[in-house]
Amino acid sequence: MADHAARTHLATHEVTNQPLLGGDHDLLAEDIALRETLAREAPAWVATRLAPLAREAGRDTWQAIADEANRHPPELRLFDRHGRRLDEVHYTEAYHRLMHLACDGGWQAVAWEHEGNGGHQAHIAALYLLTQVEPGFCCPITMTHAAYPVLRHDSAILETWGPRLLANDYDPRALPADDKRAATFGMAMTEKQGGSDVRRNTTHATHQSDGSVRLTGHKWFCSAPMSDAFLTLAQDDAGLGCFLVPRFRPDGERNGIQLQRLKDKCGNRANASAEIEYADAWAHPIGEPGRGVATILEMVQQTRLDAATAPAGMMRQATLEVWRHVQGREAFGKRLADQPLMQRVIADLALETEASLALCLRTARAFDGASRDPHEHALARLLPALAKFWHNKRGPAFMAEAMECLGGIGYVEEAPLARLYREAPVNSIWEGSGNVMCLDVMRVLARHPESIAALRQELALARGAHPDFDRALEALERCLKATPDVLEAQARWLTQRLAQCLQAALLLRHAPIAIGEIFCAARLGEEASPLFGVLPSHAPLDAILERIET
């Protein structure tokens, strides 16, 4: 937020050659790529519903609120003044305002309220906008959204919790669910000894005569530990099962969810992550006994798409920050925005942002149509892993390049780029690291050949539009014919290339011709470089740059 009448005449010098700060923006009206992508991937009501959020999220005051939420991180409060156990996390009021921004608009619920009619596209587009306000608080929004399909395994649980997850409200109070209109959900899967290998989990579930369960064990990471309930994994006689663990037991007493510590994270400070122990915690089984991984994967698949979308939103925010900076600052006798090298870097960042957004919303359309269209269902199995892997591999380098465009001022915490840079690695780790995503792609290719067939159909729609694209498809086909052991060894290359080719196909088919063609040359051509800013000499810089803020 711009400060009023900041002095520029100082005792030793004049403050000059600085870009304008602050100002409200409309995050939809000024984002032509988002408008175009929504127009082709979503029903018309989605953009209409998003419009008020885009105007509100673009208000300059939200950046100050996000900054406050990060500068005053959550605090662990284990006991009250008399020594009674609480196991609570207290957040600054700024954090609660961010949560209201999302939940009061129902963006954690919209995918299920309009399932099959643009709901997933609305959720993903909203997450893209909300991430530009502050990525950290989007974690509980994602998990609350993603928990809903798991609850549908049990009609009694759905009746109790479903309306609270879908409520257009946010209630941060530590109260039993019966005393609240709205609730949020979290997830706790990983343990110290296994990490991504959750089948090594040791948390134990003991079944009771009344049908409930008691859990004893630990969880190495529990995101959003003040959620009203958590989905978790534990071992019982049937194997690894999925369980719902509420913050309060049915009798209204606090459940045995003991917070051990809050994680001192590399990234955002606004949202808490905790290490927890279950001490005879009351739980309710959900899904088939011994099928906990398959049950909770319904939640994980949703969160993976969100984890692929967050980098796209962060890329958009970083690109805007850079573009506005270089238009208001001069170096070596002319504006940074007019210097060829700087133009190439920013144009390349803009290309990456647009390609990432296109892949996210195409995947959201696959999710939305999966229940009625076999082609979309097949794509929905594969695309989240592709998008999550590649967008997050690009994210850290992207943020570093954007920070470098600003120079030293971008490296300090007063600029949002420092926060974005620290946040950039998290979505690559959350819900499966890069290698896990590649192995998941290998699993889908082996078990669900219809998924690669569906992807081939999508790619074929752009065949012949650019020679570099056609050559890339030929290389993909050669790789896919390899033996399983060779294919696994090449899994990272294959996952990257599948994602890039689908991005290219979407841009070739739907973006202006110059955008799609230069993306193919810069990402798939013989001179493609891992560095941002290495574009072909004929790159249409003006055509790319004018799309940044239109």
- pLDDT, one tens digit per residue, over 94-116 is 999 999 999 999 999 999 999 99
pLDDT at residue 299 in the model: 95
CA-only gyration radius of the chain, Å: 24
Tens of pLDDT, residues 16-55: 998 887 789 999 999 999 999 999 999 999 999 999 999 9
CA 459 from centroid of its chain's CA atoms:
25
User: Using an 8 Å Cβ cutoff, are 417 and 399 in contact?
Assistant: yes
The pLDDT assigned to 267 comes to: 87
pLDDT value at position 13? 96
Distance, CA of 323 to CA of 343 (rounded, Å): 9
pLDDT at 256: 98
Task: Evaluate whether 122 touches 42 at the Cβ level (below 8 Å).
Answer: yes
Tens digits of residue pLDDT in 239-274: 999 999 999 999 999 999 999 999 999 988 999 999
How many angstroms separate the Cα of 97 from the Cα of each of 61, 103, 180, 268, 306?
A: 11, 10, 18, 16, 21
* pLDDT at position 3: 78
Kindly give the parts of the chain with pLDDT less than 50: none
Cα separation of 316 and 353, whole Å? 6
Q: What is the pTM of this model?
A: 0.97
Which pairs count as long-range contacts for 41-47, CB under 8 Å and 24+ apart, including other chains? 41/121, 41/361, 41/362, 41/364, 41/365, 42/118, 42/121, 42/122, 42/125, 42/361, 42/364, 42/365, 43/117, 43/118, 43/121, 45/114, 45/118, 46/118, 46/121, 46/122, 46/125
Number of other CB atoms surrounding residue 306 within 10 Å = 27
pLDDT score of 2: 65
